[in-house]
């Protein structure tokens, strides 16, 4: 009986330690893919519109999700490029919509419940839920361009430059 109790305690300790290590790894991963280049300052669309009107700029909205590998690649390789972040930080108000994912498929009720307002926003503007998605709005909140794909540095700059005032 004592051996079983020792075994259970040992298993619980190992489980606790492995959870701690998982959290450390996840936090390191977030730091590795940090979008330190483009300044996505707004998570609220109305505040982004207010700022865009104030400085007379368009709005770039980046739509991403947990576990989106093309998104992570762009965050690491494209958004941190000086040509890219200098252009977008100067020419646009940048905002980000981050979808939370679960282990289940994206059409599940759990996914919809976690992301209800985000889904409503995309549905209102007739935008598919694909990641990454980039939306450009004028400073009155009118959608003027959208694309849903990975873009390299040159493609992303071209997308942005054809949509500035």
CB 63 within 8 A of CB 135: yes
108 and 157: one domain?
yes
104 and 54: one domain?
yes
Per-residue pLDDT of the chain (165 residues; tens, 9 = 90+): 667 766 566 555 455 545 444 334 333 323 233 446 999 988 788 899 999 999 999 999 999 988 899 999 999 999 999 999 999 999 999 999 988 876 555 557 777 777 788 888 888 888 888 899 999 999 999 999 999 999 999 999 999 999 886
128 and 104: one domain?
yes
Residue 101, φ and ψ in degrees, nearest 5: -110, 160
153 and 106: one domain?
yes
Which residues have a Cβ under 8 Å from the Cβ of 56 and sit 6 or more positions away?
A: 139, 165
- pTM for the model: 0.73
Spatial separation of the C-alpha atoms in residues 2 and 16, rounded to whole Å: 21
9 and 57: one domain?
no
Which residues have a Cβ under 8 Å from the Cβ of 104 and sit 6 or more positions away?
A: 110, 111
124 and 148: one domain?
yes
71 and 129: one domain?
yes
Residue 90: how many CB atoms within 10 A of its CB? 9
Spatial separation of the C-alpha atoms in residues 39 and 90, rounded to whole Å: 10
Count of the separate structural domains present in the chain: 2
Domain that holds residue 15: 1-32
pLDDT reported for residue 61 = 95
Q: What is the helix, strand, coil percentage profile of the chain, to 5?
A: 50, 15, 30
12 and 52: one domain?
no
93 and 156: one domain?
yes
Which residues have a Cβ under 8 Å from the Cβ of 75 and sit 6 or more positions away?
A: 33, 34, 35, 64
């Amino acid at each position: 009986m004592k051996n079983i109790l020792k075994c259970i305690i040992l298993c619980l300790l190992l489980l606790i330690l492995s959870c701690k290590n998982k959290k450390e790894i996840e936090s390191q991963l977030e730091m590795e893919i940090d979008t330190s280049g483009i300044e996505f300052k707004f998570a609220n669309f109305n505040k982004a519109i207010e700022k865009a009107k104030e400085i007379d700029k368009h709005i770039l909205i980046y739509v991403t999700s947990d576990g989106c590998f093309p998104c992570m690649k762009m965050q690491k390789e494209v958004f941190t490029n000086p040509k890219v972040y200098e252009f977008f930080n100067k020419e646009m108000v940048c905002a980000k919509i981050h979808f939370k994912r679960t282990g289940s498929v994206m059409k599940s009720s759990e996914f919809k419940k976690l992301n209800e307002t985000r889904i409503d926003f995309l549905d209102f503007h007739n935008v598919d839920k694909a990641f990454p998605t980039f939306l450009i709005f004028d400073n009155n909140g009118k959608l003027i361009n959208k694309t849903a794909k990975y873009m390299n540095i040159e493609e992303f700059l071209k997308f942005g430059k054809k949509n500035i005032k």
